[in-house]
Amino acid sequence: MIIPKPPRGGASGESMKELHWDDLALMRRVQNGDLRAMDALVDKYRDAVYRFAYRLVRDHEQASDIVAEAFVRAYQGAKSFKGEARFTTWMYRIVTNAFLDARKRAASRATVSLDDQSRFGPEGTVLSLADRKPSPQLRAEGSERSQKLSEAINRLPEYQKAMIIMYHVEGLSYEEMADTLSLPIGTVKSRLNRARNSLRDMLQGEKMLFLAA
């Protein structure tokens, strides 16, 4: 059963603007060397940044390392924040770069998977299980789908993997991804489509397993 994806973002336009201006004011203080303002931003966004990092590496220790490095980079590079994008978008860019740098240094690849409650359909659409108690057979099939999907995502280039997580898990819009990755929107769309096509090709042999969902 295909469940339409929820609207991206939950806050109203006005509240998002207020949040942006609050963050912008804090960042202006950080740019002037105010450590307390940086602490306020860390307290405000630590959990969200950690969730994003954990989605990328699926390891608590690695995620914590990436988050720590990302906030250090944010403080050291505070002058580069112009306020044109939301603070969270800017932080996602830093986390993504820290993740990619860590992957380059790593000797082995980490496993990245999506929630067991989500999977991809034939056209790359996120599908969700309906609110019901699945039978043991359905649970087994869901577990197998999740494993196959995880294995396929793990074989994607790191950059595409990050894009899949940003769009399908974190719910970033194309515009936000473009800001995060410093890419034109057209490039973001084409690369995301290539990642989806790669996943479809990898999962071609498991077509019946996914169609049975």
Tell me the C-alpha distance between 183 and 163, whole Å. Answer: 12
Indicate whether 24 and 99 sit together in one domain.
yes
- Rounded distance between C-alpha atoms, residue 203 and residue 148, angstroms: 8
| Residue 29: predicted pLDDT | 95
Nearest-angstrom CA–CA distance, 149 and 126: 12
pLDDT, residue 46, reads: 94
- Distance between CA atoms of 32 and 15, rounded to whole angstroms? 26
**What pLDDT was estimated at residue 132?**
41
If asked whether residues 167 and 98 sit together in one domain, one would say: no
Q: Are residues 96 and 141 in the same domain?
A: no
The pLDDT of residue 30 is 95
pLDDT in the model for residue 142? 52
Q: Which residues of the chain fall short of a pLDDT of 70?
A: 1-18, 106-147, 205-213
What's the pLDDT score for residue 58? 81
Please tell me whether residues 81 and 139 are part of one structural domain: no
- Identify the CATH number of the domain in which residue 126 sits: 1.10.10.10
Residue 92 included in any domain: yes
Domain count within the chain: 2
- State the CATH number of the domain containing residue 93: 1.10.1740.10
Are both 192 and 124 inside the same structural domain? yes
Residue 200 neighbours by CB under 8 Å, 6+ apart: 122, 124
| Residue 143 covered by a domain | yes
Q: 49, 80, 105: which is the final residue of a domain?
A: 105
